[in-house]
Amino acid sequence: MSTIAAHAVHECCGGTMGFYAHRSTETGSEMRLAVFVPPQARQRRVPSLYFLAGLTCTEETFMIKADAQRFAATHGLLLVACDTSPRRLGPPWDHYAGEGFYVDATVEPWARHYRMYSYITRELPDLIEQHFPVIQNRRGIFGHSMGGHGALVAALRNPDRYSSVSAFAPIANPIESAWGKRAFKALLGAETTAWRGYDASLLMRKQAFPRAILIDQGTSDEFLEDQLRPETLEAAANVSNQLLMMRKQSGYGHSYWFIKSFIADHIEWHASQLMA
């Protein structure tokens, strides 16, 4: 069994809010994570819901800023947030710390450690299911910005591993955004064929996720047109007949104030599918 070390565990919303570290075999480094265990887990196993954060964030950001624990406690969901990269090895290029983009790097020297796709879809769920009272194969996934991209890609590529998926302001078409191009070139190389497997809009065109997808996008998001491109997901959904609920929230930007405003809806969305 993989080992996990608790750095701090606090009482929170009737459950516990814990911060942990473990040695990852995928990244070959220490990875940190945050886990909220709801009060229902004292009596029974519960579904798990994974949040993927965006650029510059850590495993703490969502748990501190989103106010998600009170809603997860109401619905009996265990929340998991991990760091966005093997941060303690340093960023792979001189831009944002934590810019792992949830891909498995193929370019040296990053290929050994920047394996965030395999980490979030395989190693992390296995770790959580070994150490916490969760129902195996009852997983949901969601995220924000770069993490919204990661959540959509993880679910679309692994519909057998996730029962629900949603996103806040995801980078929907990264092969056409400056953020995505920079990260993919650094981690996956200049040949763009390899990039296509990590683009949610292209994946959705090929095959729909078997359940509906919820996306919230602020209309005043400063990155809306140049980086996020949500219209590409709407076009892809029309091709594959994906059930897509794209909610355009008037006046909202890209910050955690946006996430905080609609987190209750997302937790309820996942609970309705994870409890079904």
* Residues labelled catalytic: 145, 221, 254
Nearest by Cα to 102 from 91, 118, 126, 80: 118
105-to-6, 32, 155, 256 alpha-carbon distances in Å: 29, 20, 19, 28
Helix, coil or strand: residue 72? helix
Of the candidates 236, 255, 111, 83, the one whose C-alpha atom is nearest the C-alpha of residue 169 is 255
DSSP assignment letter at 173: -
Distance of CA 212 to the CA centre of its chain: 17
Query: Are β-strands 29-37 and 15-24 bridged in parallel, bridged antiparallel, or unpaired?
Result: antiparallel
- Edge to edge, the sheet with strand 5-12 lists 5-12, 15-24, 29-37, 78-82, 46-52, 134-144, 164-168, 213-218, 244-249
What's the CA gap between 237 and 208, in Å, rounded? 7
How is residue 4 written in tokens?
């996990």
